[in-house]
Structure 1
Amino acid sequence: MICGVDEAGKGSVLGPMVIAAVGVRTTDVFSDIQVKDSKQLSPLERERLFALIKKQCRVAIVVITAEEIDNIRREMTMNACVARAHSEVIQKLRPRTAYVDACDVNPIRYAETVKSHLNIPCEIVSEHHADITYPLVSAASIIAKVTRDREIEKLKKKYGEIGSGYPSDPNTIAYLSAYIDKHRVPPPIARKSWKTVSAILAKKSQSNLSAFL
């Protein structure tokens, strides 16, 4: 078996990061499933391909919550966290070769980091933009993206409109700001170790101090 690995939500300030691996015996399966990097697909097309990939390939998924990410970052960098999670889904499928989208400026170093967490023999092919180059990694990006989107929808039912969860999303920032105004602390679904959160807290603190003075 060979597999492709990718993640969704690495840079999100709200909600989980999802890591997925997709394994096949032969890449001939992708002559019938026309995959692309998930960012190049509409939500409807991602959902359609998600079902096909799950049906015809082996899939492994790991979901890491915001709280877990905060705890992990006390011990390691975010890139190291992703590398360990990549190794976790690879371990589940036990392929002979795994293609990963490198989360490091040095893809060779990243491959070695992923490999260091494995206790099975596996060749790691690490490249930037592997989600565009390799259909297997594109498939993994689709599984990760759809899974994360579903997790975000669950959070919206509980917490209201939180946007996409990314710092670049005005709806996400508006939600964070309003929640902190009301509760004086970030929401449970926020990555409190993110600069986005600390910047909002600092701004609120400064505003309160100015009002007091």
Structure 2
Amino acid sequence: MHSSPYSVLASPILPLATRHSLALLALIDLGLPLGEPLVASWTHHSPIPSTCKSSDELSNTAAPPCILGVDEAGRGPVLGPMVYGICYAAFSEQDFVAKLGVDDSKVLTEPMRNPLFESMQLPHQRERIGWAVKVLSPQDLSNWMLRTAKYNLNAIAHDTTIGLIKETLARGVNVKEVYVDTVGPPEKYQDKLSRIFPGIQFTVTKKADSLFPIVSAASICAKVIRDAVLLHWRFSESIAPINRDELTYSPGLDANNSNSSPWSTQFGSGYPSDPNTVKWLHGHLDPVFGYPGIIRFSWATCEKLVNAKGVEVKW
């Protein structure tokens, strides 16, 4: 019987920190750079499923046609990464994908998402479904969106999606149909993708993750990876924040660990409406330097706080 780190994640018996640690171990087994400071963006591709490979590669037989879904996690938060996920499978495996139970990923809680993600890593499942993620660091997002020629979120999303599709094709996956949760007007986005990939049929629509299981699977991958990155965030900055008036101090992962950070990791979900995030933002604002690299400096939430509480600098 398969023993899974995720099988106990929903158990109320285990402390939350223990469940999170088990989740991290399962993800580290995949070779992901979790628990390390996230400064630069990175991409991870799973092995290509055998069902997506040619049955006779020596004779150059075409690989089976595949469907691919695209979705993201973390577009709105003021802190942490934005993660794009894709999932793909052979046409013949569409019923299998539907039976994974990934329908409408937005209604799934973290303890529900994690086991679904892990089920994709089991040997017999890994041969039937592939996935990849692109983790966009908050520092990259800030740099891109604050440069003179602004690189906005929609353009970033488009380019990231295009990049993941190109990389998947380059690995030999015969992608023939792609389903995308829309960013911006769906018709224009669909036309753009169709021009770039003329041999692929695209469907770009709102709420694609509730309509197409392959998109729901991609959404789960993106959400689980983003949750794991934030849960085990390790700050690259070693200098403690000055303003802790509104901060309940809790150092990094382990106060006894030499790699622990003086910055609190109790920053909530990162959404501006989250009280924990608001409290963290007010408690960690340095009047000169603003915030550590976990923050997206291009977000209006950050800009307003820095302008209101920061020291004015004249250049």
Structure with higher helix content: 1
The correspondence of residues 31-50 of structure 1 with structure 2, limited to 5 A, is 31-50=98-117
Greater relative contact order (CA < 8 Å, ≥ 6 in sequence): 1
Task: Please report how far the alpha carbon of residue 113 of structure 1 lies from its aligned counterpart in structure 2 after TM superposition.
Answer: 3.6
1:175 is matched with 280
- Tell me which of 17, 21, 29 is aligned to 2:82: 17
Percent identity of equivalent pairs: 33
How far apart, CA to CA, are the structure 2 residues paired with 1:120 and 1:70? 33
Deviations 1:78-116 (A, max 9, x none): 111111111122223221111000011x20111234456
How far apart, CA to CA, are the structure 1 residues paired with 2:86 and 2:98? 19
1:163 is matched with 268
Q: Indicate whether 1:8 and 2:73 are aligned.
A: yes
Task: Please report how far the alpha carbon of residue 182 of structure 1 lies from its aligned counterpart in structure 2 after TM superposition.
Answer: 6.8
Larger CA Rg, structure 1 vs 2: 2
Task: Please report how far the alpha carbon of residue 162 of structure 1 lies from its aligned counterpart in structure 2 after TM superposition.
Answer: 1.1
How far apart, CA to CA, are the structure 2 residues paired with 1:183 and 1:170? 24
How far apart, CA to CA, are the structure 1 residues paired with 2:275 and 2:289? 20
2:137 is matched with 65
**Regions of 4+ moved over 4 Å:** 181-184
How far apart, CA to CA, are the structure 1 residues paired with 2:152 and 2:201? 24
Judge which range, 155-164 or 60-69, deviates more: 155-164
Q: 1:115 to 1:151 in 2, by over 3 A?
A: farther
How far apart, CA to CA, are the structure 1 residues paired with 2:108 and 2:291? 32
Task: Please report how far the alpha carbon of residue 9 of structure 1 lies from its aligned counterpart in structure 2 after TM superposition.
Answer: 0.5
1:85 is matched with 160
Report the RMSD for the aligned CA atoms in angstroms: 2.1
How far apart, CA to CA, are the structure 1 residues paired with 2:198 and 2:132? 16
When normalised by structure 2's length, the TM-score is 0.61
How far apart, CA to CA, are the structure 2 residues paired with 1:120 and 1:68? 30
Indicate conservation of the 8 Å contact 2:287/2:306, yes or no. Answer: no
Task: Please report how far the alpha carbon of residue 121 of structure 1 lies from its aligned counterpart in structure 2 after TM superposition.
Answer: 3.5
Q: Structure 1 stretches of 5 or more lacking a match?
A: none
Q: Structure 2 stretches of 5 or more lacking a match?
A: 1-65, 170-174, 234-251, 254-260
- Tell me which of 196, 199, 202 is aligned to 2:304: 199
